[in-house]
Amino acid sequence: MHNILDELKERDLLKQYTNEEKIKNAQNEGAGIYCGFDPTADSLHVGHLIQIINLKRFKDFGFAPIAIIGGGTGMIGDPSFKSEERNLLTLEQVEKNIQGIKKQLDFLIPDISVVNNNDWLGKMSLIDFLRDIGKDFNLAYLLAKENISSRIEKGLSITEFSYTMLQGYDFFRLYEDKNCWVQIGGSDQWGNITSGTDYIASKVGRENSKACGITMNLLTKKDGVKFGKTESGAIWLDKTKTSEYEFYQFFFNQDDEDCDKLFKFLTTLSVEEIKSINEEHSKAPFKRIMQRRLAQEITKFVHGETGLEKAEKITEALFSGNIIDLKKEELLSIVNSMQKIKVENNKEILEFLIDSKIASSKREARELLNDNAITINNINNFKEGTLIDENMFTVDNFIIVKKGKKKYIVIEITQE
C-alpha cells in the first residue's frame, strides 16, 4: 500500500503539508488525524463532503479518524477569508447543531471519534487563556498569517483574532489526549493548522513534536465557483432538508467537465477505475454514465443502499412517466426538487395551461390537448372545459404535470 501523500497527489487533492517524514510516521503508527466542523447548522452539507471523505480515506490508510465539532470556537466564528463575522449562536442552538452533526458523522464513518472543543474551552477562564495559550503566540507571527492579515483593513475583532490560537490549542489537546498527530483542512486553513503545529512544538519541544498538517485543494467547478453553492441554497446531508432524490439529482446533473474532479475528490474509487468510467462515458456521452455512477456512489455513501434505491426508484418513475404509484414521501421529493408555479384552484384546463406557462396561448394549449401531450396522474386524454380542482391534486395541494415525453412541471394550487 502506498502512503497517504501519494494517494492525495494522485487525486490532485494535495495543496500543502508541513513535514513529509512526520506524516509517513503517523501513518505507520496508526496515529489520530482530525479536521474540524463548525456547528453553524444541525446538518452538514455537500461542501463538507470533501473533508468527510478525506477522513474515511485516511482511515483506509490506517489512521484513526477524529472529528472535532467547534462547540466553543463555533460561538466565535472563523476569520478565514470571510468578508464579515458570523452571526453568533446561542448555547442551545450550538448544542442542537452538535447533536445533528455527530449523528451524521457516526453514520458516515463508523468508529470515528467525535469530540466537542467546548469540553475544554468552555471551562477555561480569560486568565487561563492569556496565561496558558496567549503567551505562546507572538503578535508579529499572528499578523503575518494571511487569514488574519487579509481581514485587518476590513475589520477584525479581538474575538475572531483569537480563533487561530484556540484552534492551535485544540490540536494540542487532541495531540496529548488522543494521540492525534495530524490535522487536515481546506487550503484556507493553512494558517490555523500551522498555528497548531507551532504551538505543540512550543509545548513539547520542536525536536520531539510529531505534529504535522496537510491542506487540500478547494473543490471548485469549471467556472471557478466553490462546489456546493447553488441558487436554491445548500444541498444538505440530512434527508429531511434535502431528499435522497434531490441529492442524487444534484450529482446526476453535474457537467462532464466537473465529473472527473468530483470522482477524485468525493469518492474512494481508485484513479484507475475513475479513468475506466471516463473512457466508457466518452463513447456515449448522452447516456450520462459518469453522472449516474457519481450520483450512485455519493448517494450510497451518504444515504446508504436504501436511500440510493429510493432515489433511483423516483428517477425511473419520472423517466417512465409512471409516478402515480410512488408514495407520498417520494412524490413530495419530486415537488421539493423543482421550481413551483402558483395557479389558482378551479381553473378550466386551457386557462390552467396558460397561467402555469405550460402553454403560451389557447391555440398551443388546444394543440397539446389534441396531441395527448399533457399528462396528469397518468391521464392524458383531457378535453376542453375540464376543470382543474382538488380531485386532480397529485400530492397535497400540488399537481405534477408532464408535458410531452420528458418535461415535468410542478404546479402549486392556491385557493382563490
Q: Which of 48, 281, 303, 347 does the annotation list as catalytic?
A: 48
CA gap 327, 406 in Å, rounded:
21
Known binder of ligand: residue 167? yes
Q: Spell 269-279 as b/e; 16+ CB within 10 A means b.
A: beeeebeebee
Q: Are 59 and 117 in contact (CB under 8 A)?
A: no
The yes-or-no answer on residue 48 being catalytic is: yes
Q: Which of 132, 188, 256, 355 does the annotation list as catalytic?
A: 188
Known binder of ligand: residue 296? no
The yes-or-no answer on residue 226 being catalytic is: yes
Q: Which of 178, 229, 300, 366 does the annotation list as catalytic?
A: 229
The yes-or-no answer on residue 11 being catalytic is: no
Any idea of the CA torsion for 44, 45, 47, 52, to the nearest 10 degrees?
50
Q: Which of 135, 206, 222, 226 does the annotation list as catalytic?
A: 226
CA gap 321, 12 in Å, rounded:
41
Q: Are 209 and 197 in contact (CB under 8 A)?
A: yes
Known binder of ligand: residue 17? no
Known binder of ligand: residue 405? no
The residue count for the chain: 416
Cα angle vertex 230, ends 260, 238, to 5°?
Answer: 90
For 123-163, the three-class secondary structure string (H helix, E strand, C coil) is CCCHHHHHHHCHHHCCHHHHHCCHHHHHHHCCCCCHHHHCH
Query: C-alpha distances in angstroms, 61 versus 19, 45, 50, 65, 242?
Result: 18, 25, 16, 10, 31
Q: Which of 24, 56, 59, 82 does the annotation list as catalytic?
A: 82
Burial class (CB in 10 A: 0-12, 13-18, 19+), 197: buried
Q: Which of 99, 230, 306, 414 does the annotation list as catalytic?
A: 230
The yes-or-no answer on residue 2 being catalytic is: no
The yes-or-no answer on residue 281 being catalytic is: no
Residue 373 CB partners (closer than 8 Å, separation 6+):
367, 380, 403, 404
The yes-or-no answer on residue 82 being catalytic is: yes
* Residue at 88: amino acid letter: L
Q: What is the DSSP letter of 179?
A: -
Q: Which of 15, 24, 56, 86 does the annotation list as catalytic?
A: 86
Q: Which of 167, 194, 267, 394 does the annotation list as catalytic?
A: 167
The yes-or-no answer on residue 188 being catalytic is: yes
Q: What is the DSSP letter of 56?
A: H
Cell of 113: 471519534
Q: Which of 45, 173, 203, 221 does the annotation list as catalytic?
A: 45
Q: What is the DSSP letter of 220?
A: B
Cell of 266: 468525493
Q: Where is the binding site for ATP, in residues?
A: 229
Residue list for the binding site = 34, 163, 167, 229
Q: Which residues define the annotated binding site for L-tyrosine? A: 34, 163, 167
| Residues annotated catalytic, as ranges | 40, 45, 48, 82, 86, 167, 188, 226, 229-230
